Amino acid sequence: MQQLPPAGHYTSRPPRWLWMLPVFSCGLLAFVSPIAIAAKAKTRQAWIWAGALASAWLVGFMLVGSGDSEGALSDLGLTIYFAVWIGAVVYALVMGPKVLWPPKETYAPGGPPPPPPYNPNAAAVAGVHALRIKREEAREIARRDPQMARDLRIGRPDLPRQYDDGGLVDINSAPVEVLRQALGLTGEQSTHVVETRQHLSRFEHPEDLIHLAGLQPSTFDNVKDRIILM
């Protein structure tokens, strides 16, 4: 399996201009690609190839422009010129991938990848999910150890505490203002819940808010995930 280079390292993908330059310049810039490869490779062999191709290009160019348009020198110059042109393209395609080139992105030292961009929707979903987990953990504490739940003041956001229960409200002890603010009940609904609780001493089931305290089922559905009976 081919191992990808670690973050911050260079790649072996050569830039496209390496072979496109001699092609689209009709050979006029054929000497540039071998010199660029030699400059990156920094090896004696690469510089020999670059020097040979550049010298041959110069000789061919000079022979073509010698003025002997129909003579042997001009024909020889054209032959050398086209040979260097094709040779530069082939050399760029063959030797270019063997040299390490910087990627198109900005080069950065190796290290941990940058954090993903902030996504407000994902953050909101994660926040709601985290609150649900906290409420379930708090309910489990109340079921397993009621005294600890009371000591942690689960369901009593109005009291000083350090434990985060995810927004639970104990409908058997929370005052009117907590029912109104934490559960979103109206003042009249909150007062009626507290009066009913005082008359019954305590609620035994969450559904007592419907059957005994007179909450509408739609209102109960909105708050049932946040209520607890201690």
In whole angstroms, give the CA distance from residue 193 to residue 214: 8
Residues 67-74: what's their mean pLDDT?
A: 67
pLDDT value at position 70?
64
Rounded mean pLDDT, 161-187: 94
* CA–CA separation, 67 and 161 (whole Å): 98
Q: What is the pLDDT of residue 197?
A: 94
Output the pLDDT for position 53. 85
Give pLDDT, residue 88. Answer: 83
Judge contact between 157 and 167, C-beta under 8 A: yes
Residues 78-92 pLDDT 10s: 788 888 888 888 888
pLDDT higher than threshold 80 for residue 67: no
Residue 107 parent element (H or E) = none
Report the candidate in 142, 227, 148 with the shortest Cα–Cα distance to residue 183.
227
Q: Tell me the two tokens of residue 102.
A: 């910087």
pLDDT of residue 63: 80
SS3 sequence of 147-212 = HHHHHCCCCCCCCCCCCCCCCCEECCCCCHHHHHHHHCCCHHHHHHHHHHHHHHCCCCCCCHHHHC
The pLDDT of residue 213 is above 60? yes
Is the confidence at residue 186, as pLDDT, over 50? Answer: yes
Q: What pLDDT is attached to residue 109?
A: 56
Whether residue 50 contacts residue 78, with contact meaning beta carbons closer than 8 Å, is answered with no
| Average pLDDT of span 125-144 | 94
The more confident residue out of 20 and 151 is 151
Quick: pLDDT tens for 13-66: 778 887 888 888 887 888 888 888 888 888 888 898 888 888 888 888 788 766
Q: Work out the mean pLDDT of the chain and round it to a whole number.
A: 84
pLDDT score of 2 more than 50: no
Q: Which of the four pLDDT bands, split at 50, 70 and 90, describes residue 192? A: very high
**Least-confidence region, from 63-67, 182-186, 196-200:** 63-67
Helix (H) or strand (E) holding 228, with range, is: strand 227-228
**Chain-centre distance of CA 6, in angstroms?**
17
pTM of the model: 0.51
The span from the CA of 36 to the CA of 95, in Å, is 11
Angle between helices 44-64 and 72-95 (to 10 degrees): 150
Please tell me the distance from the alpha carbon of residue 109 to that of residue 122, in angstroms, as a whole number: 30
Cα three-residue angle 133-134-135, rounded to 5 degrees: 90
| Residue labelled with tokens 């995930």 | 225
Helix (H) or strand (E) holding 145: none
The pLDDT-based confidence of 5 (bands split at 50, 70, 90) is: very low
pLDDT tens digits, one per residue of 102-115: 665 554 556 677 78
pLDDT for residue 3 is more than 50: no
Q: 3-state secondary structure string, 2-35? A: CCCCCCCCCECCCCCHHHHHHHHCCCCCCCHHHH
